[in-house]
Every structure is written in structure tokens, then in C-alpha cells.
Amino acid sequence: MTRILSVASECAPLIKTGGLADVVGALPAALTALGDEVKTLVPGYPAVMEKLGKTKEVAVFDDLFGGSAGLLSTKSAGLDLLVLDAPHLFDRVGGPYLGPDGKDWPDNPERFAALSWVAAHVAVQGAGGWVPQVVHGHDWQAGFTPEYLHGMGCDVPFVFTIHNVAFHGNAPADRLGSLRLDPWRFTPGHFEFWGQISALKAGLMGAQRITTVSQTYAEELLTAEFGIGMDGILRDRQAVLNGIVNGIDTDVWNPETDPEITPYKAPKGKQANKDALRAEFGLPEADGPLCVLVSRLTQQKGIDLLIDAIDALLERGGQLALLGSGDPALEAAVQHLATRHPNVAVRIGYDEGLSHRMMAGADAILVPSRFEPCGLTQLYGLRYGTVPLVALTGGLADTVINASPAALARGVATGIQFFPITGRALANAFGRLCDLYDTPKVWTAMQRNAMKQPVGWETSAAAYHALYDAVTEG
């Protein structure tokens, strides 16, 4: 058994902006099943605090980056939590990272430095008598943890997971003091990055092991195209870099028991959900496949490629139901698309229940991302027999078996991949999708294959379990 302190800026179902929260929320249960003991440290945002029941204060901080704070121990949503109750840092209207104006909070470096500093404090002092053997930080928001561990003279090993290398958590050098960082370590060998302080680099340089969320993404990160400035650092640290693909919570995402849908065990059971989904989005009956996209609306997610290629789907009688928000220009573009095409429907925003209904009712789930460290929506699609159409990158490459002639001949295909990642290649993929959909025997076999794929946390949790053993024994 290993005692693990997981440190993250979000955790489902308490607070979520993306797949990071799903991973942080689901992995502890899978590790517990293997005998590990996990406590998850998260900020006390209003959305988190209002969901907590009985709590116990296990630490008090008189001056935590500008104000007093407490550390609360509690259990919620099946998770063993440590919640950083620091109102001056986290009790704000807005999201975890952005204010009501849609811009980053100016003190984000200090806010998440505080989270990292408390993680190091727990590693040294414990929390209510509990002391971790490993600290596992997620993304830049936990990146300063090894710096604070070093400053406190603590040798508890630090494991660092990159969910998305695009976000560095940079701050100007004149904030060394406010971030409680040792100015003597403001060097390329620690956390200096082109004259700035980088929380992500601090985590990468200070970790005993670095993981990311798929093997292909681990390899992509070593290139200039995907490493986004960190590729040289990662090449230097390649010996401790591992790719461990994400899983999903198969209890929450279960077509046989999902309370949001008409339950089903086999592909034919999807029809009732498809009818309901069309009605909910105001889509007419159609001959082609009903596709869905549930995503942030950004260039990374390939939304512009979808807009360029969508006619290839619509001309074959296909349909699109889209749920998401993000770049205002892309929001406007997809809404304009819906006004021009009766077979396109758009909802701006996010709705967890609707995302389940979309997964159950659709024929195909679209993930045309330019890069995708792992991706979870394609895993939800597999679980629900909703055939993924995905770009050939990152975790999408690792989790979907392309409907190539060889895979179809062997009866193992679970989806469609396209490359290069361009609008033209996506349009061609829509043609392949429609051809397969028009061959019911082949299509149903793909749906069945998809529903048989192992998408839970069992295999991945075992890999993390072995990694924790390695760093504690080493």
C-alpha cells in the first residue's frame, strides 16, 4: 500500500472545466481497489465548498500568500479530500482560472503556488496524522510543489502528470518573492524559462517521474511541434517520462444504468435515445449518421476544420448536434452554421446530463483535434457504441482502432481516424463514415467492437500503482 497525495486545481464532480477533473476524480477509486490510499488536495472554490458536508480542520495558515487559510479534511462524492479553504485566493465569482471578464485572474501564479506550498507542507507535517509517501501533481497548477519540498528539506518523491503541455503557468521574474521561490534556483536547471518563472518547468525539472496521458502524446511531446517550448526539457528527461493512457469512470458512464438515457446493452438499443436526441435538438429525421461533438470550441479542438468539412457530411444526409463553448468567433461560426443548415443544431455552454444523452443517442462522436493528449470523449463514445471519428494524434491514436481494410477484414475496427489533420482529410473521413454507416452489418459490428473495448481505469491504475512502488522503493 502506498499513501498518495494527489494535487490538482480541479476534480470531478466537485469542480470541472475539462478532462483533468475527470481523471483526478476517477483515478483514486481505481487505486484504492489496488490497496493504495489517496487523498486529493483541491482549492476551496465556492463550487467546492458548497458541496462539502462535515469537515475537520487539520491545519491553519496565518499568512498563506496574502491571507489566512485553513486545510479541511472531508469525504465527498466518494473521494477522500483535503480542501484548501483560502477565501482571499479562491472565494470569487467566476471560474477556477478566469474572472467574470473571461480573463485570467492576475494573481493566478500566487493562487496555485499556495496550492503547491500546502501540498509540500502536508508532505512534511502531515494532515490530521496522515503523511503521504508520494506527492502526485497534475499540470502547472501543482508545478511548484518540488521547489517547496526542496525548500522544506523534504525528500518525499514527486510524480508529475502533464495533461496539456500548452499551459506553462508563467510569471515575471519580479514575482520570485511573492511566490516564495529561492532566487538562487532561478536558473535553466530549475524553473527559469526564457527569463520568466515557469510553474510547468518547475514540475518537470523536480519530478522523480513524469507521466502524460497517452503513449503517443509522450512521444509527440519530444518534438518541437507538440512540445510547445518544453520539448528540449522533456528530451533531457525522457528516461523518466512515461505515457499512461487515461480511463473513464465506467460506473458514471454506463449505458446499462445511466439515469439520463433509455438504458441499453447492445447497439440496437440506441434507437430510442437517437429519437429523443433529435427531438431535444430539433433535428428532423435523416438518412445519414447523426454525429455529435462535445468540446471546448477552440482551434486546438479542430472546430475550424469541422466548419470547413461539414458539407461532406450534410450532403450524404448526415447531421450534427454540437455542445460546447469557447472562442467567441468559433461560437458565432457554429451558430451561423446552424442557421444555414436544418441538419445542424448547436447549444452553447456545457450540460453534463445532455452530454450523456448525446453520447447515447448519436451514431458517431467527432474529435477532430489538432493535438489531443488523451481525450475522453472518444472513450465515452466507445462505451456507448457511438463510433469515434478522430484525428490521428495523441491518445486518439492509442484508443481508436481505425477502420482500415485490414481491421475491417479482421473484424476489430472501432472507429475512423484521419490524417493529415486538415479540413480536406476530415471531409474524406466523413465520406468513409457515411459509407460504413450505409453498410449496416459492418456498422453494427463496429459498434459492438466499440462497446467491448476496455476503457476503465483498471490497466492504467495498475501502471500508476507500479510507478508509485518504484519511486518509493528507489
- 119-148 pLDDT per residue, tens: 999 999 999 999 999 999 999 999 999 999
Residues contributing to the annotated binding site for ADP-alpha-D-glucose: 16
Binding residues: 16
Segment 53-62, tens digit of pLDDT = 999 999 999 9
Same domain? For 309 and 182 the reply is no
- The CATH number that applies at residue 284 is 3.40.50.2000
Looking at the domain assignment, is residue 255 inside a domain? Answer: no
Residue 108 lies in a domain: yes
Residue 252 domain flag: no
Given a cut of 70, the residues of the chain with pLDDT beneath it are 474
- Cell triple for 128: 490530521
SS3 percent helix, strand, coil of the chain, rounded to 5, is: 40, 20, 40
* Residue 186 and residue 297 in one domain: no
| Same domain, residue pair 383 and 469 | no
pLDDT at residue number 337: 97
Report yes or no on 261 lying in a domain. Answer: no
Quote the pLDDT of residue 361: 98
Same domain, 132 and 17: yes
Shared domain for 174 and 293, answered yes or no, is: no
Within-domain flag for 291: yes
What is the number of structural domains in the chain?
A: 2
Look at phi and psi of residue 196 and say left if phi exceeds 0, alpha if psi is from -120 to 50, else beta.
beta
Residue 18 pLDDT: 83
- The count of other CB atoms within 10 Å of the CB of residue 431 is 14
What CA–CA distance (Å, rounded) separates 11 from 456? 17
Query: Is the same domain home to 378 and 418?
Result: yes
- 137 with 203: CB under 8 angstroms? yes
- Contact predicate 232/174, CB 8 Å: no
Model pLDDT for residues 252-279, shown as the tens digit of each residue = 999 999 999 999 999 999 999 999 999 9
Domain that holds residue 82: 3-247+457-473
pTM of the model: 0.91
Domain shared by 200 and 240, yes or no = yes
Same-domain status, 154 and 26: yes
Do 431 and 336 fall into the same domain? yes
Residue 260 inside a domain? The answer is no
- Tell me the three cell numbers of residue 48: 467546492
- pLDDT at position 98 is 93
- Residue 259 is assigned to a structural domain of this protein: no
pLDDT value, residue 473: 87
Cβ–Cβ < 8 Å for 345, 324? no
